[in-house]
Chain A
Amino acid sequence: KQEVTQIPAALSVPEGENLVLNCSFTDSAIYNLQWFRQDPGKGLTSLLLIQSSQREQTSGRLNASLDKSSGRSTLYIAASQPGDSATYLCAVRHRTGGATNKLIFGTGTLLAVQP
Protein backbone atom coordinates (compact mmCIF):
# COMPACT_ATOMS: atom_id res chain seq x y z
CA LYS A 1 0.00 0.00 0.00
CA GLN A 2 1.40 3.37 -1.00
CA GLU A 3 2.02 5.76 1.89
CA VAL A 4 3.18 9.35 1.62
CA THR A 5 4.93 11.12 4.49
CA GLN A 6 5.90 14.77 4.87
CA ILE A 7 8.45 15.97 7.36
CA PRO A 8 8.45 18.30 9.18
CA ALA A 9 4.78 18.77 10.00
CA ALA A 10 5.41 22.45 10.69
CA LEU A 11 8.21 24.87 9.90
CA SER A 12 8.83 28.50 10.83
CA VAL A 13 11.55 30.52 9.10
CA PRO A 14 12.53 34.21 8.87
CA GLU A 15 11.81 36.07 5.66
CA GLY A 16 14.49 35.72 2.97
CA GLU A 17 15.65 32.26 4.01
CA ASN A 18 15.90 29.41 1.49
CA LEU A 19 14.09 26.30 2.65
CA VAL A 20 13.41 22.68 1.74
CA LEU A 21 10.25 20.67 2.30
CA ASN A 22 10.46 16.90 2.20
CA CYS A 23 8.13 14.23 0.87
CA SER A 24 8.73 10.48 0.92
CA PHE A 25 6.71 7.61 -0.51
CA THR A 26 6.93 3.89 0.10
CA ASP A 27 6.29 2.47 -3.40
CA SER A 28 8.39 3.72 -6.31
CA ALA A 29 5.79 2.62 -8.88
CA ILE A 30 4.43 6.10 -9.44
CA TYR A 31 3.18 7.85 -12.53
CA ASN A 32 3.93 11.35 -11.29
CA LEU A 33 4.19 13.50 -8.17
CA GLN A 34 2.41 16.79 -7.60
CA TRP A 35 3.07 19.59 -5.09
CA PHE A 36 0.17 21.73 -3.90
CA ARG A 37 -0.27 24.79 -1.75
CA GLN A 38 -3.28 25.26 0.52
CA ASP A 39 -4.14 28.51 2.27
CA PRO A 40 -6.23 28.29 5.47
CA GLY A 41 -9.83 27.33 4.75
CA LYS A 42 -9.23 27.22 1.00
CA GLY A 43 -8.82 24.64 -1.74
CA LEU A 44 -5.58 23.33 -3.19
CA THR A 45 -3.50 25.17 -5.76
CA SER A 46 -1.24 23.07 -7.97
CA LEU A 47 2.38 24.27 -7.85
CA LEU A 48 4.45 21.73 -9.75
CA LEU A 49 3.96 18.36 -11.42
CA ILE A 50 6.91 16.02 -11.96
CA GLN A 51 6.50 13.01 -14.22
CA SER A 52 8.21 9.80 -13.11
CA SER A 53 10.77 10.14 -15.91
CA GLN A 54 11.80 13.62 -14.78
CA ARG A 55 14.27 14.66 -12.10
CA GLU A 56 13.07 18.18 -11.38
CA GLN A 57 10.69 20.97 -12.29
CA THR A 58 11.03 24.69 -11.72
CA SER A 59 8.53 27.52 -11.45
CA GLY A 60 9.78 30.91 -10.35
CA ARG A 61 11.28 30.60 -6.86
CA LEU A 62 10.12 26.99 -6.56
CA ASN A 63 12.11 23.93 -7.54
CA ALA A 64 10.87 20.39 -7.03
CA SER A 65 13.08 17.34 -7.37
CA LEU A 66 12.20 13.67 -7.63
CA ASP A 67 14.30 10.63 -6.78
CA LYS A 68 11.97 7.77 -7.59
CA SER A 69 14.37 4.99 -6.61
CA SER A 70 14.74 6.30 -3.07
CA GLY A 71 11.10 7.36 -2.81
CA ARG A 72 11.79 11.03 -2.17
CA SER A 73 10.84 14.44 -3.42
CA THR A 74 11.88 17.86 -2.18
CA LEU A 75 10.34 21.27 -2.72
CA TYR A 76 12.90 24.05 -2.57
CA ILE A 77 11.66 27.59 -1.96
CA ALA A 78 14.20 30.36 -2.59
CA ALA A 79 14.17 33.70 -0.80
CA SER A 80 11.03 32.94 1.19
CA GLN A 81 8.39 35.65 1.69
CA PRO A 82 5.54 36.03 4.20
CA GLY A 83 3.13 35.36 1.32
CA ASP A 84 4.59 31.84 1.05
CA SER A 85 3.01 30.99 4.41
CA ALA A 86 0.60 28.10 3.77
CA THR A 87 0.34 24.33 4.04
CA TYR A 88 2.28 22.47 1.35
CA LEU A 89 1.04 19.05 0.27
CA CYS A 90 2.66 16.46 -1.92
CA ALA A 91 0.72 13.72 -3.67
CA VAL A 92 1.76 10.77 -5.81
CA ARG A 93 -0.21 9.19 -8.58
CA HIS A 94 0.28 5.51 -7.96
CA ARG A 95 0.61 3.16 -10.92
CA THR A 96 -2.33 0.82 -10.52
CA GLY A 97 -2.23 -0.54 -14.05
CA GLY A 98 -5.65 0.90 -14.79
CA ALA A 99 -6.89 4.11 -16.34
CA THR A 100 -7.79 5.71 -13.05
CA ASN A 101 -6.08 8.79 -11.79
CA LYS A 102 -6.03 8.52 -8.02
CA LEU A 103 -3.68 10.67 -6.00
CA ILE A 104 -2.36 9.64 -2.61
CA PHE A 105 -1.64 12.61 -0.38
CA GLY A 106 0.76 13.34 2.42
CA THR A 107 -0.55 15.19 5.48
CA GLY A 108 1.32 18.36 4.64
CA THR A 109 3.90 20.77 6.04
CA LEU A 110 2.58 23.98 7.59
CA LEU A 111 5.00 26.76 6.67
CA ALA A 112 5.15 30.12 8.45
CA VAL A 113 7.49 32.79 7.07
CA GLN A 114 8.10 35.50 9.65
CA PRO A 115 8.51 39.09 8.41
Chain B
Amino acid sequence: DVKVTQSSRYLVKRTGEKVFLECVQDMDHENMFWYRQDPGLGLRLIYFSYDVKMKEKGDIPEGYSVSREKKERFSLILESASTNQTSMYLCASSQTSGRAPLNNEQFFGPGTRLTVL
Protein backbone atom coordinates (compact mmCIF):
# COMPACT_ATOMS: atom_id res chain seq x y z
CA ASP B 1 0.00 0.00 0.00
CA VAL B 2 1.08 3.53 -0.78
CA LYS B 3 2.33 5.37 2.28
CA VAL B 4 3.34 8.93 3.04
CA THR B 5 4.13 9.74 6.66
CA GLN B 6 4.73 13.03 8.41
CA SER B 7 6.77 13.33 11.58
CA SER B 8 4.17 15.08 13.73
CA ARG B 9 0.38 15.41 13.71
CA TYR B 10 0.39 18.47 15.95
CA LEU B 11 3.18 20.93 16.68
CA VAL B 12 3.28 24.10 18.78
CA LYS B 13 6.22 26.48 18.39
CA ARG B 14 7.12 30.00 19.43
CA THR B 15 7.74 32.97 17.15
CA GLY B 16 11.33 33.01 15.95
CA GLU B 17 11.99 29.31 16.45
CA LYS B 18 13.45 27.20 13.67
CA VAL B 19 10.96 24.47 12.73
CA PHE B 20 11.52 21.24 10.81
CA LEU B 21 8.66 19.29 9.27
CA GLU B 22 9.62 15.87 7.96
CA CYS B 23 7.94 13.77 5.29
CA VAL B 24 8.83 10.23 4.24
CA GLN B 25 7.39 8.15 1.40
CA ASP B 26 7.99 4.46 0.77
CA MET B 27 6.90 4.28 -2.87
CA ASP B 28 10.19 5.22 -4.56
CA HIS B 29 8.51 8.32 -6.01
CA GLU B 30 10.63 10.96 -7.69
CA ASN B 31 8.35 13.91 -6.94
CA MET B 32 7.59 15.27 -3.50
CA PHE B 33 5.57 18.33 -2.50
CA TRP B 34 4.81 20.57 0.45
CA TYR B 35 1.47 22.38 0.66
CA ARG B 36 -0.20 24.48 3.27
CA GLN B 37 -3.96 24.54 3.72
CA ASP B 38 -5.87 27.48 5.18
CA PRO B 39 -9.62 28.08 5.45
CA GLY B 40 -10.97 29.90 2.41
CA LEU B 41 -7.65 29.67 0.56
CA GLY B 42 -7.50 25.96 -0.16
CA LEU B 43 -4.21 24.15 -0.69
CA ARG B 44 -1.28 26.21 -1.86
CA LEU B 45 2.02 24.79 -3.06
CA ILE B 46 5.08 25.92 -1.08
CA TYR B 47 7.92 23.92 -2.66
CA PHE B 48 8.38 20.75 -4.63
CA SER B 49 11.22 18.46 -5.56
CA TYR B 50 11.51 16.22 -8.61
CA ASP B 51 14.77 14.53 -7.64
CA VAL B 52 17.26 14.24 -4.84
CA LYS B 53 18.89 17.61 -4.10
CA MET B 54 16.58 19.28 -6.63
CA LYS B 55 13.92 21.77 -5.56
CA GLU B 56 11.64 24.33 -7.11
CA LYS B 57 9.59 27.12 -5.61
CA GLY B 58 5.86 26.77 -5.61
CA ASP B 59 3.35 29.57 -5.28
CA ILE B 60 4.19 30.73 -1.74
CA PRO B 61 7.84 29.92 -0.91
CA GLU B 62 8.56 33.02 1.18
CA GLY B 63 9.62 32.19 4.72
CA TYR B 64 10.28 28.53 3.90
CA SER B 65 13.11 26.37 2.66
CA VAL B 66 13.35 22.67 1.87
CA SER B 67 15.87 19.86 1.87
CA ARG B 68 15.93 16.61 -0.07
CA GLU B 69 19.07 14.64 0.70
CA LYS B 70 17.48 11.23 0.13
CA LYS B 71 14.83 10.18 -2.34
CA GLU B 72 12.34 9.10 0.30
CA ARG B 73 12.60 12.16 2.57
CA PHE B 74 11.56 15.76 1.99
CA SER B 75 11.90 18.30 4.78
CA LEU B 76 10.22 21.69 5.11
CA ILE B 77 12.09 24.27 7.18
CA LEU B 78 10.73 27.42 8.73
CA GLU B 79 13.91 29.41 9.44
CA SER B 80 12.19 31.79 11.87
CA ALA B 81 8.59 30.85 12.55
CA SER B 82 5.96 33.56 12.51
CA THR B 83 2.32 33.57 13.58
CA ASN B 84 1.14 33.81 9.96
CA GLN B 85 2.71 30.40 9.37
CA THR B 86 0.14 28.78 11.66
CA SER B 87 -1.51 26.33 9.30
CA MET B 88 -2.07 22.72 8.27
CA TYR B 89 0.94 21.44 6.32
CA LEU B 90 0.48 18.57 3.89
CA CYS B 91 3.16 16.55 2.17
CA ALA B 92 2.56 14.57 -1.03
CA SER B 93 4.48 12.42 -3.47
CA SER B 94 3.98 11.17 -7.00
CA GLN B 95 5.64 9.15 -9.72
CA THR B 96 7.25 11.23 -12.45
CA SER B 97 5.44 11.68 -15.75
CA GLY B 98 8.15 10.14 -17.87
CA ARG B 99 7.99 6.76 -16.20
CA ALA B 100 4.25 6.57 -15.72
CA PRO B 101 2.70 9.00 -18.18
CA LEU B 102 -0.85 7.86 -17.62
CA ASN B 103 -0.88 7.65 -13.86
CA ASN B 104 0.67 10.38 -11.81
CA GLU B 105 -1.62 10.54 -8.85
CA GLN B 106 -0.43 12.50 -5.86
CA PHE B 107 -0.59 10.65 -2.56
CA PHE B 108 -0.85 12.68 0.60
CA GLY B 109 0.34 12.29 4.15
CA PRO B 110 -1.92 12.83 7.21
CA GLY B 111 -0.86 16.45 7.69
CA THR B 112 0.84 18.42 10.46
CA ARG B 113 -1.17 21.06 12.27
CA LEU B 114 1.37 23.74 13.21
CA THR B 115 0.55 26.50 15.66
CA VAL B 116 3.02 29.37 16.11
CA LEU B 117 2.48 31.40 19.27
Interface residues of A (CB under 8 A from B): 31-32, 34, 36, 41-46, 49, 51, 89, 91, 93, 99-103, 105-108
> What separation, in Å, do the CA atoms of A25 and B16 have in the docked complex?
39
Residue pair A41, B97 in contact (C-beta under 8 Å):
no
Chain B contacts of A103 at CB under 8 A?
Answer: 45, 106
Residues of A contacting B: mostly: strand
Residue pair B90, A99 in contact (C-beta under 8 Å):
no
Residue pair B94, A101 in contact (C-beta under 8 Å):
yes
Is residue B61 contacting chain A, with contact meaning CB distance below 8 A?
no
Interface residues of B (CB under 8 A from A): 4, 31, 40-43, 45, 48, 50, 56, 58, 88, 90, 92, 94, 96-98, 102-111, 113
Chain B contacts of A51 at CB under 8 A?
Answer: 102
Residue pair B90, A107 in contact (C-beta under 8 Å):
no
Chain B contacts of A100 at CB under 8 A?
Answer: 31, 48, 50, 56
Chain B contacts of A102 at CB under 8 A?
Answer: 45, 48, 58
B4 CB to closest chain A CB, in angstroms? 8
Chain B contacts of A32 at CB under 8 A?
Answer: 104
> What separation, in Å, do the CA atoms of A107 and B103 have in the docked complex?
23
B31, B92, B94, B113: which contacts A41 (Cβ < 8 A)?
B113
Most buried by A among B40, B42, B92: B42
Residue of B nearest to A54 (CB): B102
B15 CB to closest chain A CB, in angstroms? 24
A99 CB to closest chain B CB, in angstroms? 6
